[in-house]
Amino acid sequence: MIRLDRVSKSFNGLPVFSGLSLMVHPGEVVGLVGPSGAGKTTLLRLIAGLTRPDSGIVTTAGSRLSYVFQEARLLPWRTALENVVVALRAAGFNQADARNEARLWLKRVGLAQFADYYPAQLSGGMQQRVALARAFAVHPDVLLLDEPFSHLDDGHKQELRDILRRLIRETGVTVVYVTHALPELDGLASSILYLSGGGLVHNLVRREDVVIPTPAGINTAS
């Protein structure tokens, strides 16, 4: 479970969130949409513990988190297999189990035959598949996705989206998914939240446990 309780965050005196409260239940898939600068990535970073709130509490109940960025962020000197193994070793797997698990997850994203390829030998879509394999391989409780397909063409986006949907369904992982493209969330998100102008201002899918702060100058009427 993810819980944000009256969270506020500013950068250089400019408020990003003020009094934001939000709960994401286990197994839920929450989409976050909104314009650039609205705080979507900041919210993910708060959940991940990469950014600290100015006030309020962020709780993930001891969950194991995985984070998939816009770029695959693979280690260029390691093969696809080794990139997944590194994450598994950091999560406590021994070397033999890590390699077996890494091969399994590369197979699940359709890259079994590319296990020994280096990132430079893979297309952008294939690199992002490795990033997904790496994220799922550690058996996360929470998966954070920051516009993971934004730099891909439409064909690769659909391909990766289908893989992602299948893996989420099979694992039951809790997901917070940031995107500019609302259609990416079709058939995937159980709740879609719109962020704009300094805070969460509108729920595209209503939920009772979301508290909507009202930043100065923002009209929340729907």
Which pLDDT tens digit goes with each residue over 170-219?
999 999 999 887 878 887 888 888 887 555 555 665 444 444 343 333 23
Q: Do both 111 and 178 map to the same domain?
A: no
What tokens appear for 118 in the block?
């280096």
Distance CA 110, CA 69 (A): 20
> Does any domain span residue 36?
yes
**For the ranges 15-19, 60-64, 146-150, 217-221, the one whose mean pLDDT is highest:** 146-150
Characterize the bridge pairing of strands 2-11 and 65-68: unpaired
Give the pLDDT score at 200. 59
Q: Do both 98 and 152 map to the same domain?
A: no
Q: Do both 132 and 186 map to the same domain?
A: no
Q: Do both 152 and 194 map to the same domain?
A: yes
Q: Do both 1 and 46 map to the same domain?
A: yes
Comparing 192 with 222, the larger pLDDT belongs to 192
Burial of 61 (0-12, 13-18, 19+ CB in 10 A): exposed
Q: Do both 145 and 217 map to the same domain?
A: yes
By C-alpha distance, which of 87, 143, 84, 93 is closest to 119? 84
Give the pLDDT score at 121. 97
Q: Do both 177 and 89 map to the same domain?
A: no
Binned at pLDDT 50, 70 and 90, residue 153 comes out as: confident
> Does any domain span residue 42?
yes
Give the pLDDT score at 212. 38
Q: Do both 205 and 216 map to the same domain?
A: yes
| Average of per-residue pLDDT values in the chain | 85
Task: Say if CB 44 and CB 70 are below 8 A apart.
Answer: no
Give the pLDDT score at 210. 41
What mean pLDDT is predicted for residues 51-58? 91
Give the pLDDT score at 203. 60
Of 123, 139, 155, the one marking the end of a domain is: 139
> Does any domain span residue 58?
yes
Distance CA 93, CA 153 (A): 35
What pLDDT, in 10s, does the model give residues 77-129?
999 999 999 999 999 999 999 999 999 999 999 999 999 999 999 999 999 99
167: CATH = 3.40.50.300
Q: Do both 91 and 187 map to the same domain?
A: no
> Does any domain span residue 70?
no
- This prediction's pTM: 0.86
